[in-house]
Structure 1
Amino acid sequence: MNLSKRLSETAAAHAAKPAYYFLDQATSYGELDGAVTKFASGLESLGVTKGDHIALLLGNSPHFIIAFYGAMRLGATVIPINPIYTQDEIGYILNNGDVKAVVALDLMVPLVGKVEGLLPKVENYIICPTKQDSAIEEAVAAHPKMKSFSEVLETGALSFEGPELDEDDVAVILYTSGTTGRPKGAMLTHKNLYSNARDTGSYLKMNEDDRVITTLPMFHVFCMTVVLNAPLISGATLLITPKFSPADIFRIAEKYQATVFAGVPTMYNFLYQYPEADADSLKTLRLCISGGASLPVALLKNFEQKFKVVISEGYGLSEASPVTCFNPLDRPRKPGSIGTSIMNTKNKVVNELGEEVPVGEVGELVVQGPNVMKGYYKMPEETEAAIRDGWLYTGDLAKMDEEGYFYIVDRKKDMVIVGGFNVYPREVEEVLYSHPDIVEAAVIGVPDPNQGEAVKCFVVSTNKDLTEEQVAEYCRQHLAKYKLPSSIEFIEELPKNTTGKILRRALKDHILQS
């Protein structure tokens, strides 16, 4: 089984059921599956064949879903790219990923003229409209390599059947965020993607009655599996929002009686802080899902108390398609934990020798299962370093309790070593988030001539009169001496990527520049 085939089966059984709403317009499963088939056929007419690589430079829209599933139905490999990346970042991925065709927003048309000479392998640019613009339409019509999205659909045939797909064929290549060096392309097979969507959907009890708010960016693996693929193979309905806005989330939740919301911690913070929201604003939700970064326990408790809905925190990474753990819905959930292993996936905590450590001891989290990537594209050495003896090494420090619940302590590379003692930024951040006047916080390590490293805190506060000394005193009440911040800097907003994850490297750059 694969995602494309499963979509066709759902469409055959529930042709008239809404697959998604976008800008308050409904599209049925039958209509979606037909568009996917026609797009696959249209790609083939452009010379795209099984095994070719297709990049998607798209935001949250029907274009993304149709292109994503259409490319897979043809047997092509999809490379999703954040459309707000710089020209250099996009160019690197297109070249390194050996991309043959690009599906992009019309906002990218001016960029094509600048970079196409540097991208000899790209044969077609398929342009998706964001608005009526005669100048862009004329530019697309005049360019030999450009086609409109509607044009590709119109040339496709509903009779298209597509090639046989092997479960080990690469379906998607996801380029990591590249916190160190150039981004690496994680190759995910049809088996990887389908098994993780199936097992995640089953774990979270997704069904045909669910209406899932889809506001996470579709090009990100968290959204791709948890709020795109898992709902679609479960026959649920997507409520697509082009971008995250608290006002839109509350409006959509009420209008369509949403049952599931998934977001990153920053989104939960914005929803919690939204002044016009009350306990009834999310009353139809049966479940909230958090991932992408650790959710501060104080925020989790405040959100649940205000909106009377449970947040299930999970864990994943691109190389695992991505989900490996979730807090279970049929057993007690533990705040601060990423939960237990989802079905068909194993997690364990190991030491530097790869040996499993005792319960409660900190080590590196490693993962095994049908969701683990095939490897990094054109990077055999990096693949061997990441996958050892059949286990994926995540680079995250974790511990496990007696009941099999896992806890992320921190990123291995983010750990701060103060005078030989390990300080995990998350532990300090949890204390800062529990302060009533602090809405966001981030902790990094900075060089220290005496201790090797010292703890530095960045804080966003609602109280302009809050002082560094008051925050320091609060920390002294809750932290051992060696974990205390050596400096506290108030900041208007923490730097984040498009998924809302706080960028520690940007904070480190800020220190170097100041």
Structure 2
Amino acid sequence: MATSTLTGLLNHVAGIFPSRRALSVSGKFDLTHARLNQLVEHAAAQLLAAGVKPGDVVALTFPNTVEFVVMFLAVIRVRATAAPLNAAYTFDEFEFYLSDSESKLLLTSKEGNEPAQAAAAKLNIPHLSATLPTADSDIILSPTQSKFDTDSLAKLTNDPSDAALFLHTSGTTSRPKGVPLTQQNLYSSVQNIKSVYKITESDSTVIVLPLFHVHGLLAGLLSSLGAGAAVALPAAGRFSASTFWSDMNKYKATWYTAVPTIHQIILDRHLGPRTLLPEASVYPKLQCVFGACDYGSVRGGIWCASFGGVRYDGGYTLDGVKSVARGRPT
């Protein structure tokens, strides 16, 4: 695998930090980088057996779960293109995005997604569900792919020009437009974010943003994994203010990244009755880092004052203090 690809980078990380924690879900999973790599390779072999070919677009609609992470990485491992979709979309929205991206397969959690599956059925797009029963098991795709081998996968070499991620613009001024990003794009973005926020294998983060969105996916998840750092996913599959600080403390998080709305929710909880905050008797010390546009700076300034953080503008951290990214990373 080429090292200038995201897949190559993560494979390299699994080789040099095999026993370091990569991915956790409170009360469920604690996966090392080596174990995550094994799960991805096994799931990728199943995708090949299911008929996924290089260049195919595979739509994924999941909560923030281990299954999403494994299947996203498995899709790009087989040189296909991952198209994450908001699980809250309506039937019409799913129909548009599945059609516009020319998706060849829909992946969901084992619980499924009725609007997504109905839209896929209308478009004659096959559907598979993915589940990881235990940390020691492999991803199970249903319907089960009974015949698969790793030899075919071993012959696939990821290329920097592979279209790895398919996103849509917000459609604020017109219809949403599809934007494909290559393995090289993802690799470069991860390396830049790691450099700006000084993320290393010693870091740990809690994901609060949805992974179908580029901010949560790239800045929170992939940049951490690409540094050999540790990532914790909320047990509920989405951000929860009631478990945020307990997760931050449990996993000794050194940073997190979010948008102003999330920061405001955390701040409101802090300013509310202290009886609501038994999980946060001690806050981890975090530095406030703002993007170049100073997006959400008023909320951020109050956040810094409330939690004892030091404000630092321009997107860089000070030596010895880990960052909390504010607004969209640049």
TM-score (norm: length of structure 2): 0.83
Aligned mates of 2:327, 2:210 — CA distance in 1? 21
Displacement, 1:298?
3.1
Query: Which secondary structure does the structure 2 equivalent of 1:149 belong to?
Result: strand
> 1:261–1:289: 8 Å Cα contact kept in structure 2?
no
Displacement, 1:129?
5.3
- From the superposition, tell whether residues 116 and 232 of structure 1 become closer, same or farther in structure 2 (CA, over 3 Å): closer
The one-letter code matched in structure 2 to 1:85 is: Y
Residue 197 (1) aligns with residue 190 (2)? yes
- From the superposition, tell whether residues 117 and 71 of structure 1 become closer, same or farther in structure 2 (CA, over 3 Å): closer
Query: Which secondary structure does the structure 2 equivalent of 1:16 belong to?
Result: coil
Out of 220, 225, 237, which is 1:227 matched to?
A: 220
Cα deviation 1:192-214 (Å, max 9, x = unaligned): 11101111111100011111111
Residue 182 (1) aligns with residue 182 (2)? no
The one-letter code matched in structure 2 to 1:188 is: L
Runs of 4 or more consecutive aligned structure 1 residues displaced over 6 Å after TM superposition: none
> 1:50–1:163: 8 Å Cα contact kept in structure 2?
no
Aligned mates of 1:338, 1:214 — CA distance in 2? 14
Out of 290, 313, 317, which is 1:329 matched to?
A: 317
Aligned mates of 2:181, 2:18 — CA distance in 1? 29
> 1:37–1:156: 8 Å Cα contact kept in structure 2?
no
The one-letter code matched in structure 2 to 1:82 is: N
Residue 259 (1) aligns with residue 254 (2)? yes
> 2:106–2:127: 8 Å Cα contact kept in structure 1?
yes
Aligned mates of 1:338, 1:117 — CA distance in 2? 38
- From the superposition, tell whether residues 239 and 281 of structure 1 become closer, same or farther in structure 2 (CA, over 3 Å): farther
Out of 73, 85, 96, which is 2:100 matched to?
A: 96
Cα deviation 1:361-381 (Å, max 9, x = unaligned): xxxxxxxxxxxxxxxxxxxxx
> 1:19–1:237: 8 Å Cα contact kept in structure 2?
yes
> 1:250–1:281: 8 Å Cα contact kept in structure 2?
no
Displacement, 1:168?
2.1
Show the counterpart of 1:362: none
Show the counterpart of 1:61: 65
Displacement, 1:108?
3.6
Cα deviation 1:369-396 (Å, max 9, x = unaligned): xxxxxxxxxxxxxxxxxxxxxxxxxxxx
Aligned mates of 2:30, 2:318 — CA distance in 1? 33
Q: State the number of aligned residues.
A: 307
Show the counterpart of 2:129: 127
The one-letter code matched in structure 1 to 2:242 is: A
The one-letter code matched in structure 2 to 1:201 is: K
> 1:263–1:290: 8 Å Cα contact kept in structure 2?
no
Query: Which secondary structure does the structure 2 equivalent of 1:26 belong to?
Result: strand
The one-letter code matched in structure 2 to 1:272 is: L
Show the counterpart of 1:284: 284
In terms of Rg, which structure is larger? 1
Aligned mates of 1:95, 1:166 — CA distance in 2? 26
Equivalent positions of 1:4-153 (< 5 A) are 4-24=7-27, 25-108=29-112, 110-111=114-115, 114-120=118-124, 122=125, 124-128=126-130, 149=141
* Alignment gaps of 5+ in structure 1: 132-146, 314-325, 332-336, 343-514
Displacement, 1:84?
0.5
Out of 247, 269, 272, which is 2:264 matched to?
A: 269
The one-letter code matched in structure 2 to 1:149 is: L
Displacement, 1:167?
1.4
The one-letter code matched in structure 1 to 2:21 is: P
Displacement, 1:158?
5.0
Aligned mates of 2:315, 2:185 — CA distance in 1? 21
Displacement, 1:152?
5.4
Displacement, 1:103?
0.7
Equivalent positions of 1:279-358 (< 5 A) are 283-287=283-287, 295-310=295-310, 327-330=315-318
Cα deviation 1:34-58 (Å, max 9, x = unaligned): 1111111111111111111100111
